[in-house]
Amino acid sequence: MRTVVVGAGLSGLLAARTLAEAGHDVVVVDKGRSPGGRLATRRIGAATLDHGAQFFTVRSDAFGAHVARWQADGLVREWHRGFGAEADGHPRYVVEGGMNQLAKHLATGLDVRCDTLAFAVRPADGGWDLALDDGSFVAAGALVLTCPLPQTLALLVTADVELPEPLRTLDYDRTLALLAVLDGPSAVPEPGGVQLGEGTPLSFVADNAGKGISAVPALTLHAGATWSLDHWDADRDAVHHELLAAARPWLGDARVVESQVKRWRFATPRHTWPAPCWTAEGRAPLVLAGDAFAGPRVEGAALSGLAAAAALC
């Protein structure tokens, strides 16, 4: 069956790979320039910076089996087992070369069409037509939608599919992030990451050299949800300046030689659907998946993608 997956993040890619291995003819479309979604890595000169998801954990056998294979392939390694005095002994994993390398690995061999913006879903004989913003369409016997739910809702306006109220109204916290390349070692303590609480604009600071993915010192600093929302519509230069000020305690004697601000509009779902995916009834197969279903973590997105594939298989 021709199955079209909208979204080339972890959820969509794992769904697509699983379906392809089960014999489906799979096409993945994504509006981004490359696959990955929040598995995002930026290169600035000699620096490599993860600016979306920073690491992931494993708490299920299903996801653990995939991670074990990625470790055996030399793609994934354990970073550490907790931050500072609050270390809990539970492994945190990173991807060699940056989180986006995992997305590229999963996309290998799949028909992944980036720079392709899905515009609308329309019923068709025996399936669906996915309209694209260039006026063309992709025919599908089944659809898997893994984009953030507000975007999914917009796609389904023309599909005559009724979503439950909690899915129609689900919103996401936003995240503003600062990427900063330094001229020397940072003041971020071992193992190269700090989780921060209230009283600071920042929620997480990562030293990408400390993580082992950057050849030169480079920090990723995520602002907290409240600060990000309060400053979302503020002047970009002012936001940049304030984030640089918040970064100073983590610079040590180093100077920032280059920096950029990144924006994640759909960073973290504010609540999650109780099942790992949602399947429409009464029409050709249509499944919704993503981190709003199986939990707002990398593992949640993975498990939701696997559940969507299982629902179709």
pLDDT single digits (tens) 195-218: 997 778 999 999 999 999 999 999
- Per-residue confidence (pLDDT) for residue 126, from 0 to 100: 86
Closest CA to 19 of 140, 161, 162, 113: 140
- Per-residue confidence (pLDDT) for residue 246, from 0 to 100: 97
- Per-residue confidence (pLDDT) for residue 84, from 0 to 100: 72
Q: Average pLDDT for consecutive 10-residue bins of the chain (313 residues)?
A: 96 98 97 96 97 96 97 96 80 97 98 97 94 95 97 96 94 97 97 87 97 97 97 97 98 98 96 96 92 93 98 93
- Whether 2-42+99-170+274-312 and 172-269 share one fold: the answer is no
- Per-residue confidence (pLDDT) for residue 83, from 0 to 100: 82
- Per-residue confidence (pLDDT) for residue 85, from 0 to 100: 67
Dihedral, CA atoms, 138, 130, 2, 266, nearest 10 degrees? 120
CA dist 156 and 287 (Å) reads 12
Spans of all domains in the chain:
2-42+99-170+274-312, 172-269
> What global pTM score does this model have?
0.95
Asked if residues 58 and 66 have their Cβ atoms less than 8 Å apart, the reply is no
Fold of 172-269: Polyamine Oxidase; Chain A, domain 2 (3.90.660)
What residues contact 63, with CB distance under 8 A and at least 6 apart?
Answer: 299, 302, 303, 306
Q: Residue 15's beta-bridge partner residues?
A: none
CA dist 98 and 214 (Å) reads 8
Residue 160, Ramachandran bin (φ over 0: left; ψ between -120 and 50: alpha; else beta): left
Q: Is 6 exposed, middle or buried (0-12, 13-18, 19+ CB in 10 A)?
A: buried
- Per-residue confidence (pLDDT) for residue 181, from 0 to 100: 98
Closest CA to 97 of 214, 192, 217: 214
- Per-residue confidence (pLDDT) for residue 200, from 0 to 100: 85
Return the structure tokens found at 263.
Answer: 């924006």
Domain 2-42+99-170+274-312 maps to which CATH number in 1.20.210.10, 3.30.590.20, 3.60.20.10, 3.50.50.60?
3.50.50.60
